[in-house]
Amino acid sequence: MNIQNYINGQFTDPISNEWLDNYCPSDGEVYGKIPNSSIEDVEIAYQSAKSAFGLWSQTTLEERSRILLKISELIEDNLQELAEAESQDNGKPISLAKAVDIPRAASNFRFFAHAITQFFSESHESVGQNAMNYTLRQPIGVVGCISPWNLPLYLFTWKIAPALAAGNCVVAKPSEVTPLSAYLLGDICNKAGLPKGVLNIVHGSGTTTGQAIVEHPGIKAISFTGGTKTGAEIAKIAAPMFKKLSLEMGGKNPNIIFADCDYDDMLNTTVKSSFSNQGQICLCCSRIFVEASIYNKFKTDFIEKVKELKVGHPSEDSTQIGALVSKAHLKKVMGYIEIAENEGGKILCGGNKVTVKNFENGYYLEPTVIEVTNNECRINQDEVFGPVVTIMPFYSEDEALSLANQTKYGLSATIWTNNLKRTMRMTQQIQAGIIWVNTWMMRDLRTPFGGIKGSGMGREGGFEALRFFTEQKNVCIKY
């Protein structure tokens, strides 16, 4: 299946006629082509967004909200088709795409359709000076949204929905590895009555199409999710142009387990926080630190559960671990398992490629648990982004805290304990943008989402996203 760019409400081939192969991770076959859009395509997308901006920015909030709600509804109506596309493109189990990815894409539009009607700004009366200040929040203009392959439609819409709700027009690029669901979104937007040019989707590689978006002088803000190295490249280009930037990047999240936790709940959730989506979620906890008194019990029980996980073709309902996203990524992840072994790590389970019958060329890997003895090794410092976790014991709260913070990343952390005072101490001192206590990945879309250190700059979610996608202007009126 060949996909096309969605520009000015129409589907078009790239001007250069350059195409990239689209691989199906579950069988390793090429099943389509995607445009490798050039600067010229991005320019046309930009011009169409720019032309649409006048009307869209002046469209009433009720009307914008109505159209975004319609998009949300149509995503729900097309759940099966979108979930199949996502699973085929990404390798994730269809059950996960149906339960999480696509419903969340619909929620993103629904949430921001409502949020924009409740968005407000401040006013400050300058007492004794006969003056009133108020803050105008206006759409920025044309903004760029660049998203990754791990949660394709979920993260694509997480950026587009608030950008559109706030009155901006968008030039967006999904990952070239998983473009299909974004392609299908174009048709949904037309059916929902989104005026042409308000959203433009250009496909292509990061260094060609992505960079053209970042370098475009008329695109005033960039919202990006992806690798930390890419985020740094984008910041380097965007900084001299003083673009607004929101960067959501990698993580090396700790899962800190104290002996006083609710053990069964912790164990079941830890399997999920380790291996959901083949471990390819920025919030997955890849470093598990366990209080020494329960370490051996945890090790035995955890390995037993991990060994039960069913690796298989993503279209099977019983599959829990699908295929990794690409051959290159599988190679990278397996390379890290080798590095871990060379550094003295002990593989407790997994570590090998899996051959799935009839799909022998798919990119399958066993869920892997590695026991390490220190936190400085590369497997504990680099973002692997696959079904690989490490475990090691700790002996005190202070040690757990220092292990958790000993990383260049700071996206999320999970703590398992029933001790309230410890919870308060730990949550205040852990360096991360998101902390879960006795749960994982429980999301409320009103909350600020993002990381610190090498994990991010800025926050998305709730009003934070609407603030990012608007420019503030203070007006002072003397009376």
Is 270 a residue that touches ligand TXE (CB under 6 A)? no
Residue range at the interface with ligand TXE (CB under 6 A); choices 80-88, 142-150, 290-298, 427-435: 142-150
Q: Which of 155, 166, 136, 157 is nearest to 65 (CA)?
A: 166
Strand, coil or helix: 157: helix
Smallest distance, ligand TXE to C-beta of residue 149, A: 5
What's the CA gap between 20 and 39, in Å, rounded?
A: 16
Q: Among residues 176, 291, 371, 464, which is the contact residue for ligand TXE, using CB under 6 A?
A: 176
Q: Among residues 27, 291, 366, 383, which is the contact residue for ligand TXE, using CB under 6 A?
A: 383
Which strand (E) or helix (H) includes residue 465? helix 462-468
Contact 164, 468 (CB under 8 A): no
Is 149 a residue that touches ligand TXE (CB under 6 A)? yes
Phi, psi angles (nearest 5°) of residue 256: -105, 120
Residue range at the interface with ligand TXE (CB under 6 A); choices 102-110, 144-152, 269-277, 368-376: 144-152
Is 234 a residue that touches ligand TXE (CB under 6 A)? yes
Q: Which of 20, 425, 2, 430 is nearest to 209 (CA)?
A: 20
| Pairing assessment for the beta strands 221-225 and 10-12 based on DSSP bridges | unpaired
Selected catalytic residue, list 261, 282, 284, 377 = 282
Q: What is the CA radius of gyration of the chain?
A: 23
Which strand (E) or helix (H) includes residue 409? strand 409-410
Is 173 a residue that touches ligand TXE (CB under 6 A)? yes
Q: Among residues 7, 143, 249, 404, which is the contact residue for ligand TXE, using CB under 6 A?
A: 249
Smallest distance, ligand TXE to C-beta of residue 323, A: 15
Is 256 a residue that touches ligand TXE (CB under 6 A)? no
- Would you state the structure tokens that stand for residue 169, as one six-digit string? 């027009």
Is 35 a residue that touches ligand TXE (CB under 6 A)? no
The string over 271-303, giving b where at least 16 C-beta atoms fall within 10 Å of a residue's C-beta and e elsewhere, is bebbbbbbbbbbbbbbbbbbbeebbeebbebbb
Residue range at the interface with ligand TXE (CB under 6 A); choices 14-22, 78-86, 219-227, 342-350: 219-227
Is 197 a residue that touches ligand TXE (CB under 6 A)? no
For the chain, the straight-line distance linking the first and the last C-alpha, in angstroms and rounded, comes to: 64
Which strand (E) or helix (H) includes residue 169? strand 169-173
Residue range at the interface with ligand TXE (CB under 6 A); choices 97-105, 223-231, 294-302, 366-374: 223-231
Smallest distance, ligand TXE to C-beta of residue 225, A: 5
Is 175 a residue that touches ligand TXE (CB under 6 A)? yes
Q: Among residues 230, 286, 390, 412, which is the contact residue for ligand TXE, using CB under 6 A?
A: 230
What's the CA gap between 437 and 460, in Å, rounded?
A: 21
Smallest distance, ligand TXE to C-beta of residue 282, A: 3
Q: What is the DSSP string of 254-276?
A: EEEE-TTS-HHHHHHHHHHHHHG
Query: Strand order in 470-478's β-sheet?
Result: 123-126, 131-139, 470-478
Is 461 a residue that touches ligand TXE (CB under 6 A)? no
What's the CA gap between 93 and 277, in Å, rounded?
A: 8
**Annotated catalytic, 248?**
yes
Tell me, by CB under 6 A, how many residues bind ligand TXE: 25
∠ CA 241-242-248, rounded to 5°: 110
What's the CA gap between 253 and 408, in Å, rounded?
A: 11
What's the CA gap between 85 and 71, in Å, rounded?
A: 18
Is 458 a residue that touches ligand TXE (CB under 6 A)? no
What's the CA gap between 1 and 4, in Å, rounded?
A: 10
Selected catalytic residue, list 84, 176, 248, 371 = 248
Q: Among residues 25, 32, 93, 148, which is the contact residue for ligand TXE, using CB under 6 A?
A: 148
Residue window 281-320: x/- pattern of binding to ligand TXE, with contact defined by CB under 6 A? -x--------------------------------------
**Annotated catalytic, 476?**
no
Q: Among residues 93, 250, 322, 433, which is the contact residue for ligand TXE, using CB under 6 A?
A: 250
Is 214 a residue that touches ligand TXE (CB under 6 A)? yes
Nearer residue to ligand TXE within complex by CB, 139 or 226: 226
Is 92 a residue that touches ligand TXE (CB under 6 A)? no
Nearer residue to ligand TXE within complex by CB, 323 or 426: 323
Is 225 a residue that touches ligand TXE (CB under 6 A)? yes
Q: What is the DSSP string of 276-291?
A: GGGG-STT-EEEEEEE
Smallest distance, ligand TXE to C-beta of residue 37, A: 11
Phi, psi angles (nearest 5°) of residue 247: -120, 120
Q: Which residues are catalytic?
A: 248, 282
Question: Which residues are at the interface with ligand TXE (CB under 6 A)?
Answer: 146-150, 173, 175-176, 205-207, 210-211, 214, 225-227, 230, 233-234, 249-250, 282, 383, 385
